[in-house]
């Protein structure tokens, strides 16, 4: 598993993401592929997670050695989705090479365990973090940094890092 971790990228971001960094995300995926990263983990939440998953699905069409892992916080997580978000969810999950469900049932703890899984199984985190506190994205970014992971934040800001 440690060998996989060295070629693995995980995504974390806000559910309010509306495609603002679509071009940057695709460019970053190409750059990461060039650096040797082949395995990509998405937390499957609407917003940035699914957008990143879709971008990896597109990357998989160009490179046969790209792997996508759908990391769901709990069984039946799909039931939380409707409309366009459900279609994106199904597209990403159907294209995934592996599906991981970290908990049996839904709870706040399930989301934290999902985020822990992302940071424990990747060496780089690509984020869409708007610097607001008390979010799952903040938790994941801070945990990744404490663990010494590289964090690439695609959110456009001039705010300095405070930690």
How confident is the prediction for the chain on average, in pLDDT? 93
Residue 34 in this model has a pLDDT that exceeds 70: yes
pLDDT of residue 163: 44
Indicate which CATH number applies to the domain containing 71: 3.40.50.450
User: Considering the domain boundaries, does residue 46 fall inside one?
Assistant: yes
Tell me which residue of 60, 52, 57, 59 sits closest to 122, measured CA to CA. Answer: 52
Using alpha carbons, list the distances in angstroms from residue 107 to 44, 118, 120, 122. 15, 17, 20, 24
Q: State phi, psi for 56 to the nearest 5 degrees.
A: -70, -40
Q: What is the mean pLDDT of residues 12-23?
A: 89
Domains of the chain: total: 1
Residue 8 in this model has a pLDDT that exceeds 60: yes
Buried b (16+ CB within 10 A) or exposed e, 21-58: beeebeebbeebbeeebebbbbbbbbbbbbbbbbbbbe
Using alpha carbons, list the distances in angstroms from residue 128 to 3, 19, 49. 26, 10, 9
pLDDT of residue 161: 54
Strands 150-153 and 124-128: parallel
What do you get for the CA distance between the two ends of the chain, in Å? 29
Residue 1 in this model has a pLDDT that exceeds 80: no
* Contact assessment for residue 137 and residue 128, using Cβ atoms and an 8 Å cutoff: yes
Give pLDDT tens digits for 40-79: 999 999 999 999 999 999 999 999 999 999 999 999 999 9
**Burial classification of residue 4, based on how many CB atoms lie within 10 Å of its CB (0-12 exposed, 13-18 middle, 19 or more buried):** middle
Using alpha carbons, list the distances in angstroms from residue 9 to 35, 50, 93, 105, 121. 11, 14, 17, 26, 8
User: Considering the domain boundaries, does residue 159 fall inside one?
Assistant: no
Tell me which residue of 45, 30, 41 sits closest to 117, measured CA to CA. Answer: 41
Tell me the whole-structure pTM to 2 decimals: 0.92
Q: What is the mean pLDDT of residues 133-157?
A: 92
Q: What percent of the chain lies above the pLDDT cut of 70? A: 95
Domain of 139? 2-153
């Amino acid at each position: 598993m440690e060998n996989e971790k060295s070629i693995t990228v995980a995504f974390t971001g806000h559910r309010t993401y509306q495609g603002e960094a679509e071009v940057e995300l695709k460019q970053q995926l190409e750059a990461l592929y060039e650096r040797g990263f082949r395995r990509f983990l998405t937390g499957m939440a609407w917003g940035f997670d699914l957008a990143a998953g879709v971008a990896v699905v597109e990357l998989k069409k160009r490179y046969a050695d790209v792997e996508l892992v759908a990391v769901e916080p709990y069984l039946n997580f799909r039931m939380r989705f409707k409309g366009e978000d459900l279609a994106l969810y199904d597209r990403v999950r159907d294209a995934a090479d592996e599906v991981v469900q970290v908990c049996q049932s839904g709870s706040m703890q399930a989301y934290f365990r999902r985020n822990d899984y992302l940071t424990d199984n990747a060496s780089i985190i690509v984020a869409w973090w708007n610097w607001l506190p008390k979010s799952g994205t903040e938790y994941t970014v801070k945990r990744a940094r404490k663990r010494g992971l590289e964090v690439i934040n695609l959110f456009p800001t001039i705010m300095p890092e405070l930690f």
